[in-house]
Amino acid sequence: MGLGDYSTEKLLMGGAVFATIAFFFVAIVYPSIFTPKPDWSAADGCIGGQTDHADQTDSDIGVVRHYHPQIKITIDDNQLSIPPNTGIDQLGCRGGMRWVHIHSVSDSGFTTIHIETPERMNVPLGAFFQVWDREGTPSLTDDRKFDINGNGVSDWDEFDISMKVNGKDNTRFESFVMEDFDMIELSFASK
């Protein structure tokens, strides 16, 4: 090995060490840089049916991504039932399904959310609440905060809210980007 090879190797190793340290510094000081930005428009998407959205045609879209997180919601330790077919044949998507919808309810306590999108999207939990709002309540407030009882007041003013995803505490709440097989437990306790 010549002297030039040794210098190149040392330079490459130094660059790799610097890049690794820089990565960990950014990850520790600015962890939100790695958090996916929610695609709130997922609540408006429609598969088939007649849409009333100016930016969509009244034809089927191709589903590129189809996955199934699960959710369980409790209010003061009582499980909240999610109606079957939430997001199916809704106003604005007659004869079709929203990209975020429910088919049936399980006896397991968890309800499967079906997410079917025409491209990879970062679908937030709040998008499901926006779809659910079209059925009545629960919903989100205008500033995208939970409104589980549909009274127009942010639940953050009325409840202590906690969330676990796959058994671990999670603080992303409405903005949490759901993934396949996520087990989401959302709890509301009256203040």
This prediction has a pTM of: 0.78
Radius of gyration from C-alpha coordinates of the chain: 22
Give the residue-averaged pLDDT of 31-47: 83
User: 103 near 176, Cβ under 8 Å?
Assistant: no
Question: What is the per-residue pLDDT across 59-109, written as a single tens digit (0 to 9) for each?
Answer: 456 788 999 999 999 999 999 999 999 999 988 888 899 999 999 877 778
Give the DSSP per-residue string, 36-99.
Answer: PPP-GGGGG-EESSEE--TTS-SSPPPP-EEE--EEEEEETTEEPPPPTTTTEEETTEEEEEES
Question: What is the per-residue pLDDT across 4-38, written as a single tens digit (0 to 9) for each?
Answer: 556 777 777 877 777 777 666 655 665 556 677 99
The secondary element (H helix, E strand) that includes residue 23 is helix 3-29
List the Cα angle 109/114/116 in 5-degree steps.
Answer: 170
- Mode of pairing for the β-strands spanning 88-90 and 93-98: antiparallel
